[in-house]
Structure formats: structure tokens, C-alpha cells
Amino acid sequence: MPDLNVFHFGPADGPPVLALHGLTGHGKRWQPLAEGNLAEARVIAPDLRGHGRSTWAPPWNFETIVADLVALLEAEGTGPVVVVGHSFGGAVGVHLAASHPQLVKALVLLDPAIALPPAELLTVATSTVEYPDYTDVEEARSDKLSGAWGEVPEELLDTEIHEHLSTTRNGRVGWRMGIPAITGYWSELAREFVLPPPGLRVALVQAMKVQPAYVTDAFKAALRTQLGDNFTLHEFDCDHMVPLSRPRETAEIVRPLL
């Protein structure tokens, strides 16, 4: 199995859920949802390659992450799992379902970032390289609050800072992630979307306050065509951090698929 740091929540005999965080995130972000609103499930939440306490080694692409997850699920011995993916994790989940359908029981996509405009991703990747860290904790906190974390409860932002912020070699602070890996992954989000196999149940949550939207009309239309009645779309009046800002509503979508 690859050198992945994995968090486990819930009963060992609960229905298995593979929870995939977004780009720049980490597996422990799923703890509030897993322990609060989805406590009956066995939640497996890895730090994806390049993030947190997992390996930061290349290659940095969907194929390598999927291979990591296949090895993880084999080691966990779960059988098919419900995959819940947020943002970049949603894109990873679709690739996992497309290439290894026998491992995925159902798919929940929380404001997935898929097939985004290359020009926008170049801007974000360039900023990641030019501004990889912060002067201090308060600057890091302010950056989160001015972005998609504005609706996340304050105590969860405190937990994020405690878990995910570390001191860099130059005495500043930065999120616990490999900047080269993150830069490579922004490029992956420019790739054309793939689709899950016909017959798979897929629920997609779009965060309607995200403008321009991460969820494109083309992707939604392709899912409807591919999946028919097995596809459901949910529109949440929230910003991008869906599982942290809307945990109850998220759990209500996941639970029937368990």
C-alpha cells in the first residue's frame, strides 16, 4: 500500500464510506460530518497524495491517486464503498468509479471541481507558487474567512488551523501540503471530464454561491444522459465548503445510499 495517512471514523462494522477531500485539504476535515451526522458509517478518509501527512512524491495525477485508493481499499477489505468526494475529491471519485466500478457502490459529489477553464487554473496555480505561505496564523485565518470558509463554524476553522497549518523552513506558516504536487493537481482539473458507469447511483450537490460555478452545465447534462434516473441533482444555497457548512443536509443525501 502507498504511504498514505488515513483517518478512520465510526464503527468498524458500519457501511463503508470512502471520503475524499478537496485540493489543499486533508482527511481529518471529514471528522465533524462522520462523527456528528453520519455516525453509523465506517468512514475511511485518507490524506490524498501530496497532502497532509501522506507521501508528497510524484506522479501527481488522477491515475496515481486512483491507484493509491485501490490499494487502500484492498488493504481495508471493505468491498464496494460509497464514495463521497468534495471538490477535487469529487473529480477523483469519478475517475475511481470510471476505472474500477466494482469498488464503488454509489457516488456523492459535493460541488466537484471538474473540467474547469485552463486560464483560471493557470491563475490559481501561479498564485500557489508565488504565495505558498503566510506571515502568521492570523493571516492564514483571514485568507480562509475571505474565501469559501466564510460560512464554516469558527470552531471548525480553529480545528483546521491546528491540524493543517505548520511552520515553514523560513519561519512563516503554511498548509501541510506539497506545493509542487498542488501545482500539478490544478492542471488535472483542466482535463476533460470522464463519466461514471451506467447504472451507478450518483448524487451531485452544487454550491450555488460559487460563481463562476465549478459544476458545469455540460457535466450535469452528460451525467443525466449517462445515468438517467440514477442521477440526482441537489442545489445548496451555500459556498464551496459543503461538508463543513452543511453537514446535516450532506448526511441526508449520503445516508440513503449506504
What would the DSSP string read from start to end of 170-191? TS-EEESB-HHHHHHHHHHTTS
| Number of domains making up the chain | 1
- The CA distance from 92 to 68, in Å, is 11
Whether residue 152 is contained in a domain is answered as no
CA atoms within 13 A on the CB side of 103: 21
Whether residue 167 is contained in a domain is answered as no
For range 95-106, the mean pLDDT: 98
The 10 Å Cβ neighbour count of residue 223 is 23
Is it true that the peptide bond before 16 is cis, omega within 30 degrees of 0? no
Res 238: pLDDT: 97
Is pLDDT of 2 > 90? Answer: no
Q: What is the DSSP letter of 77?
A: T
Whether residue 170 is contained in a domain is answered as no
Whether residue 169 is contained in a domain is answered as no
For range 95-102, the mean pLDDT: 98
Each residue's pLDDT tens digit, 12-51: 999 999 999 999 999 999 999 999 999 999 999 999 999 9
% of the chain residues with pLDDT over 70: 100
pTM > 0.95: yes or no: yes
Residues labelled catalytic: 87, 217, 240
For range 92-115, the mean pLDDT: 98
For range 127-142, the mean pLDDT: 96
Res 170: pLDDT: 86
> How large is the angle between the packed helices 154-164 and 137-146, nearest 10 degrees?
130
- The CA distance from 82 to 96, in Å, is 11
Is pLDDT of 133 > 80? Answer: yes
Q: Which residue segment(s) compose the domain that 221 sits in?
A: 6-115+190-257
Residue 54, domain CATH: 3.40.50.1820
Residue 176: closest CA among 32, 62, 26: 26
pLDDT range class, residue 233, cuts 50, 70, 90: very high
% of the chain residues with pLDDT over 90: 98
* pLDDT, mean over the chain: 97
Res 162: pLDDT: 96
Whether residue 81 is contained in a domain is answered as yes
Q: Which residues does residue 153 pair with via DSSP β-bridges, in sequence order?
A: none
Is pLDDT of 94 > 80? Answer: yes
Better pLDDT: 2 or 208: 208
Is pLDDT of 1 > 80? Answer: no
Check: CB of residue 201 under 8 Å from CB of residue 107.
yes
Is pLDDT of 169 > 90? Answer: no
Measured CA distances, 25 to 76, 79, 165, 194, 208 (Å): 22, 26, 11, 23, 21
Whether residue 176 is contained in a domain is answered as no
